[in-house]
Every structure is written in C-alpha cells, then in structure tokens.
Amino acid sequence: MPGSASVSCSGPWPKDVGVIAMELYFPAQYVDQAELEQFDGASAGKYTVGLGQARMGFCSDREDINSLCLTVVQRLMERNGLSYDSVGRLEVGTETIIDKSKSVKTVVMQLFEDSGNTDVEGVDTTNACYGGTAALFNAVNWVESSSWDGRYALVVAGDIAVYATGSARPTGGAGAVAMLVGPNAPLAFERGLRGTHMQHAYDFYKPDLVSEYPVVDGKLSIECYLSALDRCYAVYRNKIHAQWQREGSEKRFTLEDFGFLVFHSPYCKLVQKSLARLMLNDFLSHRGPNTETGPFAGLDAFRDVKPEESYFDRDVEKAFMKASSDLFERKTKASLLVSNENGNMYTPSVYGCLASHIAQHSASQIAGQRVGVFSYGSGFAATLYSLRVTQDHTPGSALDKLVSSLSDLKLRLDSRRKVSPAVFSDIMKLREETHHLASYVPRGSVDDLFPGTWYLTRVDEKHRREYARSPLDRDLPAEPELLARANATTEHIPSPVKKMPRIPAAAAGPEAAVSN
C-alpha cells in the first residue's frame, strides 16, 4: 500500500517515492477579469486575451496564509482518512510572510495536538514561487534518506498573491495545495532527472516587510523566467540522454517524450509561450530538422536564432506558438483550469496545474505517462523535473483514488461567489490598511466561506492570531454534491504506521477556536 515502510523498501532507497495524494484549496469568491478590465479602464481583452485569464480568486481579511494552510491540510487528512500520527515530516513552502520568525508550519501543528504527535520534522521554505518545489524536494529526500522512519511526509504550498493598483493586479490569486509524499506513489519522481538553474536578479521581490505588495520589474521577470526555462531544459535533456546512453540508446529527447507538461503559471498566456519556447529549443538543438513537413515546417528562417537574444522577438514567438499549437492542446492546455479560473497562487501555482490536468482525465488516460514539471521562483530559482505516473489504474488503485479525489475541481470552482470589481477593490484596500495591525477584528463575512474553512477571528494586542473553522455541514448554494464528496469516508488511503497512543492535547479539538 502507498507509504508503507514494510513493503516499499527495496535496495538503498524506498521504491517509487513521490506524490500519493493531493488536496487543493482556493477562496470562495472571485472577480471576473472582463469586468475588471472595464472597471480599470483597460482595453477590452487586455486581461482575458492578453493574459489569458478569466477569473481571479482572492481572500477577504478573514483569511491569511495560516488559515489557508490549516484548511488544506485538514481537508487532505479528512478526505483521505489519515491519522495525524502517520505524518513524520511537514514542510510549508510560501512567500506570504506574516511573521519574520514563527513558521506557518508551527501554526499548522495545532491540528496535530489531539493525536499527541509532536515528532514532525520540517519548517518553512521561502524563495518566491519556488518555495513549494523546494519543500517537495526536501520531503522526497527525507523519505529516501536514513532519517526516514516509515511515515508520510506532508508538503504544503500556499500563498496570497496581491498587487498594488495597476497593470500587475490582474495577475493575482490565492490558494494552497497539500501533497502527501511517500513510497509506492502513483506520481513517482524520476531519479536523476532534474535540471536546475539559479541566479541573482531583482525581477520580483518584497523588501517592504509591512506590505503584501511586491516590487516588480515585469520585463526582466519574463526574461528571467524564459532564460531559466531554456537552461533547465538543456540540463534535463543532457541528464536523460546520459541515462539512455548508459542503457545503450542513442535516441534524442524531444517534447514528445513528455506525456504532458505543466508550468508555473503567473498567467496563462506565458505558459503557452513557454511551451513554444521549449519547441524552439528542440528545433535549434536538432542537427537537421525537416522544415518541409512535420512540426518544424516553415521554420527554416529561424535556424540561426540566438536564444539569449530572442526573449522578446515577436516573429520568433509568433512562429513557434503557431508551430506548437497542437502540442499545447494535447499536453498542456488542460493544466490551466485553475490558473485560468483562480489566477496565480505563487508557490502552489505549478501544483494547481498538475491537479488540473489530473482532474480532467481518467486514470487510464494518464497511466504510465511522463509528466514534465517546470517550477520557477523570482530572484531567481528554477527546476525542470519529471514524474512518472504508475501503470496501475485499476479501480481502487492509488492512481484511481488520486484521480477521484480531484474530480470535483471544476464543481468547486463553479460553486464560488462572484464579487463586483468595486467590492474587490474595497477588500484589497481593507487588506492593505489592516495587513499588519495588532488588536484587529476582521470585518469579512464568515458566511461567505466554503464549509470547513479555517478563518481569522482576531489579532490581539501582541499580534497573536486566533482562528476558528466554519462548520462542515453549513448549506451553501450549489454545494450539496461537493459536501457529499468532501465528507465521503470510503476508499481511504490506509495509514502506513500503527496508531500511536493518544496523548491528551493541551488545547481544544480542531473544531474549536485556535490561537497562535
């Protein structure tokens, strides 16, 4: 069974370490991007066509990074029937900082109190949108190391992406993803196949510690993203070619060797351009591409393109977006569901894309595929790596359970409440004014939250934050089917370890108010 120490250890490493289960949380309200265009006085299509965005989720002052992570962790544990003593490592990747010392992970540990489990390694990992990926790598490394004790690792990536009024604001969003990591996973990491690039740049950063807003150099940020993609892909290809050569194969790696690809998505149009960029890399690395027929037809004029000079070359971009349109439809488009409907979640962004792809396919359709994952965080840090989907897609298999658990994603997106741009603007102003206040009681309505959402009740005079959880059985419009799925208790993932003796908790249970 997934995560079981007794059956998963083979040779020096446990077998097929990777993602066993996923849970995704986003706020219960959104603003329509077409309406936001009109409200901002932007040209029609600037946000919807130019950026490729339809809706943007956002948080009221009732939610912060702590509440997002509390919500997504408890949902994952409940929906998969997991005990808190089955987790031996918990790490949070985030760039949404509300305390310069105390980690979000320590706040989430309050969910573990009733279990008595305090033997949980890991803290927070921070570097812009890359923090979630770094936390995931740390979790995989822990399971594959001598430190592993047979329990699951739990990785949480969460952020609230907000911008000051202006051109960057429509690229915001909010949400959190929780991932259960262990052996015998349906999404297993391919060992040795990571291409990483890290470099210093001030493309996006947050030097004002009392503000949620970043400083952004938009053009530099795009250049950093695309240059990192070029370099990560080159390193990845070199590593997989070396593996194949050791196996006696001289085959060339191309994008067709990925079953599907997911990217960090600041906005959807950049993802489409990124896939075109990888096709440019395939084209330039080919010794003798056929430019008469096939995918490279009509591209002969671009044989001498220098990648480092083409980041903003409109002719190159247009030609390769057209040439890669079929690839995009087959391998990447489905991954943009959450990005298009909810916006940029920062650290969870690429994993929201992974969940989106899985949610829109059956287990048999994705079984055995290689998944390319490109993660980017400004400053900057990036990795392209691959996961291998298990071949076992039989009913009740780990893959079948993973796919089933994400099948309500579109339903949940559609059940959110639309808010007018004027109200959205007022809420952003309220967050701006109250972001770092002490002695503050939030004004947002708790009734507007999804059932089972953790929310902020107050910040006391010492900046200590208190939380409560909305009831799971509260009725909301368009929610009955969602509630039925959220409360389902059948077909759970079994716990990998024997339940520990219960130690009395120092505080009330998870349904009561929580303070930190």
Predicted local confidence at residue 2, as pLDDT: 54
Which one from 95, 113, 212, 341 is the annotated catalytic residue?
95
Q: How confident is the model at residue 12 (pLDDT cuts 50, 70, 90)?
A: low
Please tell me whether residue 407 adopts helix, strand or coil conformation: coil
Mean pLDDT of the chain: 90
Q: Is 292 a catalytic residue?
A: no
Query: Distance between CA atoms of 496 and 81, rounded to whole angstroms?
Result: 12
Question: Is 265 among the annotated ligand-binding positions?
Answer: no
Using a pLDDT cut of 90, give the percent of the chain over it. Answer: 86
Where would I find the beta strands (DSSP E) of 334-491?
Answer: 370-377, 381-389, 417-419, 454-459, 465-469
Look at the alpha carbons of 137, 139, 143, 146 in this order and tell me if their dihedral is positive or negative.
Answer: positive
| 8 Å CB contact between 58 and 448 | no
Q: What is the per-residue pLDDT across 414-450, written as a single tens digit (0 to 9) for each?
A: 999 999 999 999 999 999 999 889 999 999 999 999 9
Task: Read off the pLDDT of residues 394-404 as tens digits, 9 standing for 90 and up.
Answer: 999 999 999 99
Query: CA-CA distance, 232 to 360, in Å (whole number)?
Result: 28
pLDDT of residue 220: 96
Q: How confident is the model at residue 470 (pLDDT cuts 50, 70, 90)?
A: very high
Mean pLDDT, residues 382-402 taken together = 97
Token pair in block for residue 247: 């196996």
DSSP H/E element including 433: helix 421-434
Q: How far is CA 320 from CA 11, 106, 277, 310, 488, in A?
A: 45, 46, 7, 12, 46
Given a contact cutoff of 8 angstroms between Cβ atoms, the answer to whether 383 and 195 are in contact is yes
Beta strand segments in 202-361, E? 204-205, 215-216, 260-263
pTM of the model: 0.89
SS3 275: helix
**pLDDT of 155:** 98
The predicted structure's pLDDT at residue 70: 98
To 10 degrees, the CA torsion angle through 199, 200, 206, 207? 160
What three-state secondary structure class fits 84? Answer: helix
Judging by DSSP bridges, how do beta strands 514-515 and 152-161 pair with one another? unpaired
- Asked if 69 is an active-site residue, the reply is no
Q: Please report the pLDDT score of residue 414 as a whole number.
A: 97
- Contact indicator for 182, 17 with CB cutoff of 8 Å: yes
Quick one: average pLDDT of 327-350?
97
Beta bridge partners of 204: 216
> pLDDT above 70 covers what percent of the chain?
89
Statement: residue 501 has pLDDT above 70: no
Of 375, 384, 374, 373, the C-alpha closest to 195 is: 384
Among the listed residues 216, 117, 106, the one whose alpha carbon sits nearest the alpha carbon of residue 171: 216
Report whether pLDDT(58) > 90: yes
Contact assessment for residue 254 and residue 306, using Cβ atoms and an 8 Å cutoff = no
306 is in an annotated binding site: no
The answer for residues whose C-beta is within 8 angstroms of residue 510's C-beta and 6 or more apart is 74, 111, 114, 469
CB atoms within 10 A of CB 111: 21
Is 509 or 150 the better-scoring residue by pLDDT?
150
Mean pLDDT of 19-33: 98
User: Which structure tokens are listed for 136?
Assistant: 């995931």
Integer Cα distance of 186 and 90 in angstroms: 20
Residue 397: left if φ>0, alpha if ψ -120 to 50, beta else—which one?
A: beta
On the question of pLDDT at 477 being above 60, the answer is no
Position 486 pLDDT exceeds 60: no
Closest CA to 157 of 92, 64, 74: 92
- For the chain, which domains are there? 18-470 (3.40.47.10)
- Comparing 86-90, 136-140, 353-357, 445-449, the range with the smallest average pLDDT is 445-449
pLDDT tier for residue 287 given thresholds of 50, 70 and 90: confident
The reported pLDDT for the residue numbered 474 is: 56
Residue 105 labeled ligand binder: no
Q: Of residues 59, 129, 224, 232, which has the active-site annotation?
A: 129
Cβ atoms of 160 and 174 closer than 8 Å: yes
State residue 56 phi and psi, 5-degree precision. -135, 115
Amino acid of residue 127: N
Is 95 considered catalytic here?
A: yes
pLDDT at 494: 37
Q: Please tell me the predicted confidence (pLDDT) of residue 3.
A: 53
Higher model confidence: residue 495 or residue 367?
A: 367
pLDDT digits (tens, 9 = 90+) for 340-358: 999 999 999 999 999 999 9
Judged against a pLDDT cut of 60, whether residue 479 lies above it is answered with no
Per-residue tokens: 12: 């020096």
- Point out the least confidently predicted range of 126-130, 426-430, 481-485: 481-485
Q: Is pLDDT of 248 > 70?
A: yes
